[in-house]
Structures are given as C-alpha cells and as structure tokens.
Amino acid sequence: MKRAFANPLARLGLALIASILLLALLAPVIAPYDPDAINVKSILLPPSAEHWMGTDGLGRDVFSRMLFGARISLLVGFVAVGIATVIGVVLGAFAGFYRGWVDIIIMRLVDVMLSIPTFFLILAVIAFLDPSIWNIMVVIGLTSWMGVARLVRAEFLSLREREFVLSAQTLGASEVRLIFRHLLPNSLTPIIVSFVLGVASAVLLESGLSFLGLGVQPPQASWGNILTDGKEYIQFAWWLSFFPGLAILLTVLGYNLLGEGLRDALDPRKHP
C-alpha cells in the first residue's frame, strides 16, 4: 500500500473515487431537492446559486439527480464486477489446477465468449429481459468474467509447479487446501487489479445501456439516462450533457489511475 500511494497518479485516482463514493453515500443528506420532484416553473434553468447544475426538461434539479445517479452507477459497477470476478476466479482456478480436459473445456468456452462483442451480447440478452438495475448487474457480470478467468488460470499454471506447492502436495495437503491456502492467496495481485479496472468498464457499460434506454429506467436517475435527457436539449441546455459526462469521465479515470498504481506496486518484478 505504501508503494501504491507513493505514486501521485494512484493517489489522485483514490481521491477521485473516495470523493465520488462519499457524495453517493451522503446523497440523501446533501441533495437540496427531491431528485424526482417535477417543477414546471423551473424547466431548463441554467446553473445558478439555487440549482448548482441547472434543471432538466421537467424542472428537476440536476445536482440532486447526479448524486442519486452516482449510487446507481457505482452499485452496478461493484456488483457486476463482483459477479464476474467470482465466476472468473472459480473457472480460472479449476482450469489452472486440474488442467487436461477441464482446462480445454473452460478455455474453449472463454474463446467462444470472447469471440462475441460484449456490448452487443449484453444488448441481445437485455432485449429479452426487463430493463431493471438487477438484470443489468447480473447480465454484465455473466458476460465479463473471461479476462479474470484467463488471468487466474495463468497464475495457477505458474504457481502449480513451484516448490512450496509441490512440498505441500508431498506432505498430503488436499486439493481444497492447495487451492485456497497456497495457490489462490498468491494469485490475488492480478485479481485485485482486474477488479478495480473492471469497475470502470462496468460503469461505462451501465451508462451506455441507460443512454440507449435499456438500462435504469426513469424516473430513477442514473448518469446514463441523465445524458439521454440532455441529448434532446444539447443545443441550448449544455449542462444536461456536460455534468453527467464529466462524472463518468472522472469515475473511470479514477479507477484506471488506481488500478495502474496497484499494478505497479504489487508487481514483484518491479520491487524485488
């Protein structure tokens, strides 16, 4: 952790993520207005002291909607990547530990999944489901595990032949103990980095789906559907596109910077 936070870009990434998480957690306290309250007298007002980020086409306060939208976008990111990480770790561990036909079957499944564009696969699945936040999280998680599986498999294949694993095996350690006591803890570095970087990708995916009308449905706010509202008024209501776009940019940037900092700090080749 000291090495990670000695990197100024990693500190910047952590500061961005912590700030956005804090704003999302405190949204009910900080938000000056009800995010779903319609006010026909305040339609499309520009940013001012009363409405810091202006109002939308229904007179709703954009700042309040941005705060509650952060909760949705970050929740989707964490849960979806959590699902993908669990699936990827399990399948990658099985492939790397047992090898043989188990490895062949799992890796061919990975190849098939990777041959299909992820975004279009998600669109196809969402088309048959109700566009709810829970369906989005599950679908993104079920279609994003392949990279984690390949990373974990590679780590297990490398560690499987190390002396400490062979010694434990010689002393009669069970397969479960070998996997969870010796192999998995020594494979955490790529898993942690992949999780952090994956949250950024999931936030982008959720925003894209919501922008297309297949994600979080109004009146519930997310950064993607706030952007969708903004495209109708982009010529004279710039704030409806600028602020959610900036929030997505800063969030993705923060996770990418933190992920790169952790990757450098946890890489034993750079810190013998």
Examine the pLDDT at 271 and tell me if it is beyond 80.
Answer: no
Record: fold of 2-26+62-266: MetI-like fold (1.10.3720)
Q: Which residue in 83, 102, 94, 104 sits closest to 153, CA to CA?
A: 94
Which residues, other chains included, contact 60 with Cβ-Cβ below 8 Å and sequence gap of 6+? 33, 35, 36, 37, 38, 39
pLDDT in tens, 181-238: 888 888 888 898 889 889 988 888 888 888 887 777 777 888 888 888 888 888 888 9
For the chain, first and last CA: distance in Å? 16
pLDDT in tens, 248-261: 999 999 999 888 88
Give, in order, the Cα–Cα distances in Å from 61 to each of 25, 127, 130, 165, 260. Answer: 18, 31, 28, 58, 36
Phi, psi dihedrals of residue 61, rounded to the nearest 5°: -70, 120
pLDDT in tens, 76-133: 889 999 999 999 999 999 999 888 899 999 999 999 988 888 778 777 777 777 777 8
